[in-house]
Structure 1
Amino acid sequence: MDKVRIGLIGCGGFQRYRVGNLLKVKDAQIVALADTSDDQIAAMRNAHAATADLPAYHDYKDMVAEGGLDAVMIATPHTQHVDQILFCLEHGLHTLCEKPLVTSVTDAHRVIAARDKAQKQAMVSYQRHFQAEFRYIREKIRSGEAGEVTYIAALQCQGWKKGTKGTWRQEMSLSGGGQLNDSGSHLVDIMLWSTLLQAESVSAKIDHRGTEVDIDSALSIRFRNGALGTITVVGDAPKWHEDITIWCENMMFAIRQDQGLTVTYADGSRFKAENLIGGSTADQNFVDAILGKAALESPLECGLEVIRLTEAAWKSAENGGNSVAVDSLG
């Protein structure tokens, strides 16, 4: 194929942002839109002239049935992802889904099985896989230079509770969870992806702060290699802030808000890692994988590992913070 013909499922604010990136991919062509809201379709057309004259559908199934698609890009309320992914794969379409992939471990296994059956490219959009600092950390750990990972600590703060008030993100039936599986999903993913760790057990305390969904979450984790870690997500903060530290036998990596990456060696010497080489983008990688030019760098298995840890945290919090074995979830 000369260009990958892509249909958009969902035309909301984040999808409109994503389209700005997708339009930079020369081998991609957006050919159709789907959203249940006329207002969101109109907003997409107004935001991007390239979509102004494209056919639009209220039901994504009608868009798929019309034909003429090679792939879809999904950005919809989280609990809708699983049915949309399954339908598109069953109809032979490559599928890119915004995070979180799904809202349960069971559904993660379902979409992976559907991908394997369809033999199509399927990706969860974790953009940080292409960020230079995290690629650097992953390579140092994968090569063995950093030594074994022994501890991680990650903090994310955001005015999520205030910013999402009155939206579907605070409705459990549509979101499937709160900040931990929304913007917190990026934090959980990048800690697992960059360190190559898998969670073994999780103990968590969660505060819904008077809402249907998790707002503040404190997770204590043991990983399969014996490493320990904490992930803290604060959803009612005055502004965005992140702080990530990864301790290894030979190196320590620290990413502080607006301060980049600092690397410390076992002898105490330290330097700020600058001029690092990043990757492409999630959109470029997805299209390149369809065309056989690259391997997917954020496959569905990444979404599976994130929801395994996240669901374990939810179950732990429901049971007073008692430890939950991740493997017990499947």
Structure 2
Amino acid sequence: MTVDSIVEKTIGESESLVSVGIVGGGFIGQTVGGQFQDVDGARVETLVDINDEVLQTTGDELGIPEEARYDEYETMVKTEPLDAILIGTPHTLHYEQILTAMEHDLHILCDKPLTTDLDHARDLVERDATRDEILMVGYQRHLYEAFVKTRDTLTEAGRVPRWITAEISQDWVDRFSDAWRMNPDLSGGGYLYDTGSHILDSILWSTGLTPTAVSAEMDFVDDEQRVDGQSHVTIRFEEGTTATVVCSGETPCMREHIHMWDEEGAIYLESQDWEPNKLTEIDSASGEYAPRLDRGNLPNKAEAFIQAIRDGEAPPATALDGLRVTAVTEAAYESARQNGEFVAIDPNDVALD
């Protein structure tokens, strides 16, 4: 779906604007909130944040009237006539905030991870299945051409990767040393639950594989050993695949790669400094080549969210995607606390059928 077609669809049929409220005026509230400003089918109406300075800065940036700025979430959703909510708050707050939005029959775009509690993730999937409104998780790699093409290539050819290696790294520990991400009561953990969540999701979504067990070793940066700066995760899959995932939040710059091998060759997905991923395919017979990627044809998060609302269809990243990532992540933390013993995953949490 192109950006032009989204604009044509949402506005060309004289449909009403989607009224959006933003929960949390930090990075996600600013960036994705800004995306909503550029979608003709949506309008940012209100903002809530507990920090007065953030409320002022982001409110000004997004052009939100003073009277539509709140310091209490429930007051905002009770007062403002909203259609949808963008949740960009610390991870452990997502569950209760999603429940409140559901109680008010709102469409929800929630930043990753969906939750940091497995029972909460299960509950949200069950609730989501009974609603007409959209619940979308902010895993943007579902909107990156390299990952979409990888998923399509594997699905259409019936290919199953047998060996996956992945790594994501950045200067996360130093950068967020004084931020909420270092408080596990707000973050739910450390680097694996933050940036690492993206790479776990990328593997699970692009391959469609079913994880069965996880082993992990972690280096913690706090005395309570709850906030990991680095992790080494091994995932076993029902299909016979093994994935090795290394996450380091203590490197001087950002790098990401996912390499998937099978009997026919490999697919390489690589990125640096948050640029869109490059895609390379390796064929055992014809060698290495880079397929053409049309990077302008896929929507951003706000556009995809509005389009899902208009079409009444599943969003690019669903509550089930969020549950699958939470299941693997929680198993990894449990394994790390058990000296790397493999921890089984409940198949009901990760089944795609």
TM-score class, shorter-chain normalisation, is: over 0.9
Q: 2:57 aligns with which of 43, 52, 60?
A: 43
Cα distance in 2 for residues equivalent to 1:324 and 1:293: 37
Deviation at 1:293, TM superposition (A): 6.3
Uncovered stretches (5+) of structure 2, i.e. residues with no partner: 1-14
Q: Does 1:247 align with 2:261?
A: yes
Deviation at 1:10, TM superposition (A): 0.7
Uncovered stretches (5+) of structure 1, i.e. residues with no partner: none
State the Cα RMSD in Å: 1.8
Deviations 1:290-326 (A, max 9, x none): 1126541111111100011000000000100000011
Deviations 1:111-141 (A, max 9, x none): 1222233332101011111101111100001
Equivalent residue, structure 2, for 1:74: 87
Q: For structure 1, which segment, 311-320 or 235-244, has the greater mean C-alpha deviation from structure 2 after superposition?
A: 235-244
Q: Residue type matched to 1:247 in 2?
A: W
Q: 1:30 aligns with which of 17, 26, 44?
A: 44
Cα distance in 2 for residues equivalent to 1:293 and 1:174: 33
Deviation at 1:251, TM superposition (A): 3.4
Equivalent residue, structure 2, for 1:98: 111
Q: Deviation above 6 Å: which 4+ runs of structure 1?
A: none
Equivalent residue, structure 2, for 1:307: 326
Kept after mapping to 2: 8 A contact 1:148/1:249: no
Equivalent residue, structure 1, for 2:219: 207
- What is the percentage of aligned positions where both structures have the same residue? 32
Cα distance in 2 for residues equivalent to 1:14 and 1:72: 12
Kept after mapping to 1: 8 A contact 2:154/2:207: yes
Q: 1:59 aligns with which of 36, 47, 72?
A: 72
Cα distance in 1 for residues equivalent to 2:116 and 2:313: 28
Cα distance in 2 for residues equivalent to 1:177 and 1:61: 26
Cα distance in 2 for residues equivalent to 1:115 and 1:275: 33
Cα distance in 1 for residues equivalent to 2:258 and 2:251: 17
Corresponding residue SS for 2:35: helix
Q: Does 1:12 align with 2:26?
A: yes
Cα distance in 1 for residues equivalent to 2:280 and 2:330: 32
Q: How does 1:94-173 map to 2 (within 5 A)?
A: 94-144=107-157, 147-173=159-185
Cα distance in 2 for residues equivalent to 1:233 and 1:260: 19
CA gap 1:301/1:223 in 2 versus in 1, 3 angstroms: same
Q: For structure 1, which segment, 290-299 or 159-168, has the greater mean C-alpha deviation from structure 2 after superposition?
A: 290-299
Cα distance in 1 for residues equivalent to 2:97 and 2:343: 30
Q: Does 1:275 align with 2:293?
A: yes
Corresponding residue SS for 1:236: coil
Q: Does 1:190 align with 2:202?
A: yes
Deviations 1:75-129 (A, max 9, x none): 0011000000011101111111001110011110111222233332101011111
Cα distance in 1 for residues equivalent to 2:243 and 2:17: 44
Equivalent residue, structure 1, for 2:12: none
How many residues are paired up?
328
